[in-house]
Amino acid sequence: MESNKSDRRRFLKQTAALAGVAAGAGLVAKAQPASAQPQHVHNEPPRRGARYSLDHLTHYTPLQDYMGIITPAPVHFVQQHSSEFPEIDADQHRLTIHGMVDRPLSFSMADLKQLPSVSRVHFVECHGNSSPQIHNPNNSKNPNMGLPVQYIHGMASCSEWSGVPLSVLLNEAGVHKEASWLVMEGGDQGKFSHTLPLGKAMDDCFVAYGQNGEPLRIEQGYPIRMIVPGWEGPHNVKYLKHIKVVDQPYNTWNESMNHSVSRPDLGGKARWYHFQWGPKSVITRPSAGMQMPKGYVQITGLAWSGAGRVSKVEVTTDGKTWKEAKIQGPVHSKAHTRFTYDWAWDGQEAMLQSRCTDETGDVQPSLAELSKNWGIALEDWKKPERPRAIHMNAIQPWKVARDGSISDAMFA
Amino acid sequence: MRCSLKVLVPMMVLAAPVAVLAAQSRAFPNVGTPLGQAEIQAFDHMIGPDGKELPVGRGTSKEGAEIFAKRCEVCHGKNGENGITHHLVAGSPGKPFRGPFYGVEKDGPSYFPYPTIAWDYINRAMPASNPGSLKPNEVYSLVAFLYYRNGIINENDVMDEKTLPKVEMPNKNGFVPAKPVYPPAKNPSWY
């Protein structure tokens, strides 16, 4: 609780600083007065986060602390770019669909709730989760970084989302046959925008108004957000307000700049439009920062893939020999899947890792494999200014020392 | 309203089957409210890569410099450099930065593959304290100023709805795939 309180104080201080900047500039500030507190639907404080810059706020999911596959809504990760959490009056909020459609339409919340609904369990994961930058305990922007697993892989969460299939809404509007993409815009101050191909939109995307049985929380996009199952986080536009049907990708600021990365294997060109997450897993307990007890240990963690269901999870305790872990149901498509592995620690050095295989047969790569693919030399990860990487799904090694301490061995 | 019957009747004949088709294809005709063109124009500010939605307007880098100092400098620093957020300049007047973009150069408009992206974002989302408050001429001016500081256009080039989409971006070939498609080319998941 203490650390939560101090995080909250820091958050408020920084928010106040931001408001101060705006006021000091003599701008016409819609910004709140310095004393205003961010309002949360259920009065939950922002948890365990970091404000990296004026326009970038992150809360990390405490993966090490929770069980099962559902992330409690208040600790679902948050990536807020370019704005504070907007306070939207749900009664006044409208979702519009226009552009290349026969019948441009506006939907109220009552309209959306009147339409056929679905509830599905899906992970949402930031494209930058597990990146070499957030692995770094020396990251000057956040002294908490590096430990525990929360700050390394905690920009991934999993919820039961409820809402209206996007295909239902698009059918109502009547999409032109020449149309091929959508561009979505949020109702936040920064007008967070993202492009989505029509094929995916008609497949399994939905406009969600519920999360784990309750209305979306403000930091999760209240009153509505897009859910794009299995794809990189930024597609899941929060505070969803406008959908424009178009015939080409719109390459908005967010996706051109924030959601692309220059890669040596591409001659320094930037890879963008990654879309789908590959197979991924991480041992959440025991993990870095914890103390390993002698004797029986249940190793447990989460596995997921943007391609579908997890079909197999393997665990190694010596860094070499892989053994199949137990998959604990339910197993949903494009969702966190809990795995367990019974083990006994004998007091010797160990290297704990997990490896996910999904239903398409795709296997989670090691850092060495990814580095080779991306044209990055393994030594480069050890430089103080590490290469940037997104779309990171490398196997996570946790090193157990003889004294039982556990550390992050990904780049060690 | 003063349509003659000669015109109106054939129009009705043509429109009727379309209307019937449209009505039939709606599964939930009682849900949602039709949007008129005026309503759409009031909120549709999204500008695509070809710039066809750009509003009429014009601006120069000199005009942009003044607006930048008043509205943008507080966060982005003098001339878009060394501010508290988003360093906006890579390269210099006459010398565009051509990459590769591994660091802070990625933060500014030199990185964008299309000239319309900066216009669209500034127009919809800037300044952060009062997004949407800039007039089209101001946005054209700011883009002219930033592109001049980044060495993308000349100091006296006028940016308007016709010239802006034709600006040659130094990093226009810097993205893979060059033209995103769906479904994407079959690549391994790490790619």
Last residue of a domain, one of A253, A271, A289: A271
Q: Is there a single domain that holds both residue A206 and residue A226?
A: yes
ipTM topping 0.90: no
Q: Is A296 exposed, middle or buried (0-12, 13-18, 19+ CB in 10 A)?
A: exposed
SS3 content of chain B, % helix, strand, coil (to 5): 40, 5, 50
Q: Tell the burial category of B9 from Cβ atoms under 10 Å away from its Cβ (0-12, 13-18, 19+).
A: exposed
Average pLDDT of A48-65? Answer: 75
- Of residues B137, B186, B143, the one with CA closest to residue B166: B143
Q: Which helix (H) or strand (E) holds B176?
A: strand B175-176
**What is the rounded CA–CA span in Å between residue A160 and residue A163?**
10
Judge whether A46 and A8 are in contact, CB under 8 Å: yes
* Range(s) of the domain holding residue A292: 280-408
> Chain B contacts of A25, Cβ < 8 Å?
74, 129
Q: Are A212 and A288 contained in the same domain?
A: no
Residue A309's pLDDT is: 98
Compute the average pLDDT of residues B151-157.
98
B104 or A122: which carries more pLDDT confidence? Answer: A122
Confidence at A399, pLDDT banded by 50, 70, 90 = very high
Give the residue on B whose Cα is nearest the Cα of A105: B34
Lookup result for tokens 């000669």? B6
Split into its structural domains, chain A has a count of 3
- Do residues A192 and A73 share a domain? no
Residues in chain B: 191
Phi and psi dihedrals of A214, rounded to 5?
Answer: -130, 165
Q: Identify the residue among A251, A369, A392 best suited for mutation to test binding to B, counting B beta carbons within 10 A and taking the highest.
A: A251
Distance, in angstroms, between A318 CA and closest chain B CA? 25
How far apart are alpha carbons A123 and A154 in whole angstroms? 12
A8 and A45 co-located in one domain: yes
> Are the C-beta atoms of residues B94 and B115 closer than 8 Å to each other?
no
* CATH number of domain containing A404: 2.60.40.650
Two tokens at A364? 């989670």
State the Cα–Cα distance between residues B120 and B118, nearest whole angstrom: 5
What's the burial of A34, exposed, middle or buried (CB within 10 Å: 0-12/13-18/19+)?
A: middle
CA distances from A230 to A125, A131, A139, A153, A306 (A): 8, 18, 29, 16, 4
A200 and A163 in a common domain:
yes
pTM value > 0.90: no
Q: In this predicted structure, what is the pLDDT of residue A368?
A: 96
Picking from A29, A185, A75, A215, the residue whose alpha carbon sits closest to that of residue B130 is A29
Q: Is B92 in contact with B149 (CB distance < 8 Å)?
A: yes
The residue out of A240, A271, A302 marking a domain boundary is A271
Q: How far apart (Å, rounded) are the C-alpha atoms in residues B170 and A410?
A: 36
Residues A297 and A215 both lie in one domain: no
DSSP state, A382?
G
Does A386 have pLDDT greater than 80?
Answer: yes
pLDDT over 90, % of chain B? 78
**Bigger pLDDT: A144 vs A29:** A144
* A302 and A242 in a common domain: no
| Shared domain check, A52 and A111 | no
Residue of B nearest to A107 (CA): B32
CA nearest to A112, candidates A91, A138, A141: A91
Contact A96 B35 (CB under 8 A): yes
Does residue A246 sit in the same domain as residue A307? no
**Nearest chain A Cα distance for residue B33, angstroms:** 5
Cβ-based contacts of A199 with chain B (< 8 Å):
182-183
Which of B39, B41, B190, B191 is the best mutation test for A, with the most CBs of A within 10 A? B190
From the number of C-beta atoms within 10 Å of its C-beta (0-12, 13-18, 19+), residue B70 rates as middle
CA-based nearest residue to B29, from A342, A341, A115: A115
A250: left (phi over 0), alpha (psi -120 to 50) or beta: alpha
Residue contact B128–A197, C-beta within 8 A: no
pLDDT for A218: 92
The average confidence (pLDDT) of chain B is 89
- Give the mean pLDDT of chain A: 86
Is A142's pLDDT higher than 60? Answer: no
Residue B155 CA to residue B136 CA, distance in Å, equals 19
The answer to whether B44 contacts A242, with C-beta atoms less than 8 Å apart, is: yes
Q: Are residues A139 and A223 in the same domain?
A: no
B2-59 pLDDT tens trace:
444 444 444 444 444 444 444 448 999 999 999 999 999 999 999 999 999 999 999 9
Per-residue pLDDT, B129:
87
Residue of B nearest to A203 (CA): B183
Supply the CATH number for residue A219's domain: 3.90.420.10
Lowest mean pLDDT among A30-34, A142-146, B40-44: A30-34
Nearest to A357 by CA among A405, A305, A292, A312: A312
- The rounded distance, in Å, linking the Cα atoms of A360 and B83 is 47
Contacts of B88 in chain A (CB under 8 A): none
- Domain termination residue (choose one: A228, A243, A271): A271
User: Are residue A249 and residue A137 in the same domain, yes or no?
Assistant: no
State residue A226's pLDDT score.
98
Task: Please tell me the distance from the alpha carbon of residue B131 to that of residue A21, in angstroms, as a whole number.
Answer: 16
Instruction: Give the rounded percent of residues in chain A with a pLDDT score beyond 70.
Output: 83
B124·A193 Cβ contact <8 A: yes
Torsion of CA B74, B80, B83, B88, to 10 degrees: 130
Residue of A34 and A239 predicted with greater confidence: A239
| Percentage of the residues of chain A whose pLDDT score is greater than 90 | 72
Q: Which residue has the higher pLDDT, A132 or B92?
A: B92
Taking each helix axis from N to C end, the angle separating B61-71 and B136-149, rounded to the nearest 10 degrees, works out to 100
Asked if A267 and A286 sit in the same domain, the reply is no
Q: Which residues of B touch A193 (CB under 8 A)?
A: 46, 124
